[in-house]
Structure 1
Amino acid sequence: MKVSILCTDPAHPVNGYLQEWIAVNSADHQISLVRNRAHLPGGNILFLISCSEIIRKQDRAKYDSSLVLHASDLPEGRGWSPHIWAITNGAESVTLSLLEAEDKVDSGRIWKKMILAIPRHALWHEINESLFNAEIDLMDYALQHFDSVAPLDQASAGDETKLRMRTPDDSRLDPSLTLEEQFDLIRVCDPARFPAFFELRGHRYKLTLEKLNADSNFN
């Protein structure tokens, strides 16, 4: 099959997983990784992975199926960074949905869902690893079941919730709150792209978090 992946952010940590998936599957499929919708070549499947562009009907018409990977139990959690919002609100699991792209964002028919347990101690890179590996599994599912899948409509619009785009300011900590109260926010912050930070005594400070082994010492 002829497959395109549109990932608009070359710095996104999912790119390494996508490159590995391409290498594994390139012997059996013609696969291109694209950064801009203007460069979409057309084909059988278009995967939209960490894509910030709206892909309209005329772009999707170049493909037999255009599929989105979205980390929420749709129609709940339509919008931006759903797993980050969920974890900062105390969620201990995340649902990953494989769905058809439509003009109305995150409204398409569902091909498959997966539920991922998120341990309360998992840090951003561990959460990413679980999420991105699940995305790869769903991409494999799409290839393997392309001719046999029976997509399902989403639940009624009454179950819909929408999430706004996160900004760097959403990584701001409150120095008057305890570490435990803010731990879920700290652990989801990407230290390179959206680091946790706080302001105190006239200065701004970046906070990074690293998990140590039980036998670690500081000598």
Structure 2
Amino acid sequence: MKKKIKIAYLLDNTNNWILKNLKNSELLKKNNKYNSKIFINVKKIINYDLVFILNYTKILKPSFLRKNKLNLAIHSSDLPEGKGFAPIQWQILEGKNKIYTTLFEAVEKFDSGRIFEKDYILLKGTELYDEIRYHQAKLIIKIIKKFLNKYPNIKSKRQVGKSTFYRHRYKSDSKLNINFSIKKLFNQMRVANNEKWPSFFYFKKKKFIIKIFKANLKNS
């Protein structure tokens, strides 16, 4: 009997949006080819054939990368452009609707490994945070499935072009300028998380929080 390929999916507690979609996907269904498991604790991942690092927000030590055969990271930009943090939010704030996601080898140098797969979502410009994350998660799963269908006959290419970097986003980045129109502020509002980092503004020394939802026009 052929030995199953051991696959680990590494996430952290802050990324429920990918966890929910991953659990409901075909990637975790039992089959004769793969033995797949989700991990939150990085220390438990040892001697795996493939490790998919899915929006894991902590820095991984080189010693971890050496414990497994192939470590693969997912990043929502057209690498080498848009390395760093919160790439999908920054791109939306730049006015982009075509958002790439790249599957690449996780190496010691930040977001610099060889590229295996790349695909994109095309947003309409009206999606809010949860919708954006839903489309992002579906694309990630699609890319992983595409990679696994080829594995082990996989090809990669080095990153070519100028690298650009995005900084961390903080709760303070959700602060709205009340002198701007809603139209100008809309992208900033749609990338805000209503629960964790909602949009807010100050007026007459008071702080006000804004949560944005899409109305159902049929019932409005």
Taking structure 2 as the reference length, what is the TM-score of the superposition?
Answer: 0.91
Q: Name the counterpart of 2:200.
A: 197
Q: Name the counterpart of 2:111.
A: 106
Q: Name the counterpart of 2:174.
A: 171
Which moved further from structure 2: 190-199 or 84-93?
Answer: 190-199
Q: Determine which of 6, 13, 19 is the counterpart of 1:15.
A: 19
Q: Is the 8 A contact 1:68 1:101 kept in 2?
A: yes
Q: Name the counterpart of 1:142.
A: 147
One-letter amino acid matched to 1:175? I
> Is residue 52 of structure 1 aligned with residue 57 of structure 2?
yes
Q: Any idea what the Cα deviations from partners look like across 1:143-163, whole Å, max 9, x if unmatched?
A: 22221111000004xx10011
Hey, what's the Cα distance between the residues in 1 that align with 2:35 and 2:14?
20
Q: Is the 8 A contact 1:197 1:205 kept in 2?
A: yes
Q: Secondary structure at the match of 2:140?
A: helix
Q: Name the counterpart of 2:131.
A: 126
Q: Secondary structure at the match of 2:36?
A: strand
In structure 2, do the counterparts of structure 1 residues 26 and 203 end up closer, same or farther at CA, with 3 Å as the change threshold? Answer: farther
Q: Determine which of 160, 165, 171 is the counterpart of 1:162.
A: 165
Hey, what's the Cα distance between the residues in 1 that align with 2:144 and 2:173?
30
Q: Is the 8 A contact 2:78 2:100 kept in 1?
A: yes
Hey, what's the Cα distance between the residues in 2 that align with 1:112 and 1:194?
31
Q: Is the 8 A contact 2:9 2:39 kept in 1?
A: yes
Q: Determine which of 207, 211, 218 is the counterpart of 1:208.
A: 211
- Displacement after TM superposition at 1:206 (Å): 1.4
- Displacement after TM superposition at 1:57 (Å): 3.0
Q: Determine which of 69, 72, 75 is the counterpart of 1:70.
A: 75
- Displacement after TM superposition at 1:59 (Å): 1.1
Which moved further from structure 2: 78-87 or 22-31?
Answer: 22-31
Q: Name the counterpart of 1:115.
A: 120
Q: Determine which of 83, 88, 96 is the counterpart of 1:83.
A: 88
- Displacement after TM superposition at 1:73 (Å): 0.4
Q: Name the counterpart of 2:10.
A: 6
Hey, what's the Cα distance between the residues in 1 that align with 2:21 and 2:216?
26
Which moved further from structure 2: 204-213 or 132-141?
Answer: 204-213
Which moved further from structure 2: 119-128 or 49-58?
Answer: 49-58
Q: Percent of pairs identical after alignment? A: 23
Taking structure 1 as the reference length, what is the TM-score of the superposition?
Answer: 0.92
Q: Is the 8 A contact 1:37 1:53 kept in 2?
A: no
Q: Any idea what the Cα deviations from partners look like across 1:90-141, whole Å, max 9, x if unmatched?
A: 1011011010001111100000110210111111111111110000111212
In structure 2, do the counterparts of structure 1 residues 56 and 22 end up closer, same or farther at CA, with 3 Å as the change threshold? Answer: farther
Q: Name the counterpart of 2:190.
A: 187
- Displacement after TM superposition at 1:21 (Å): 3.0
Q: What root-mean-square deviation, in Å, do the aligned CA atoms of Structure 1 and Structure 2 show?
A: 1.6
Runs (5+) with no aligned partner, structure 2: none
- Displacement after TM superposition at 1:169 (Å): 0.7
Count residues with an aligned counterpart.
Answer: 215
Hey, what's the Cα distance between the residues in 2 that align with 1:24 and 1:39?
18
After TM superposition, the runs of 4+ consecutive aligned structure 1 residues lying more than 4 A away are: none
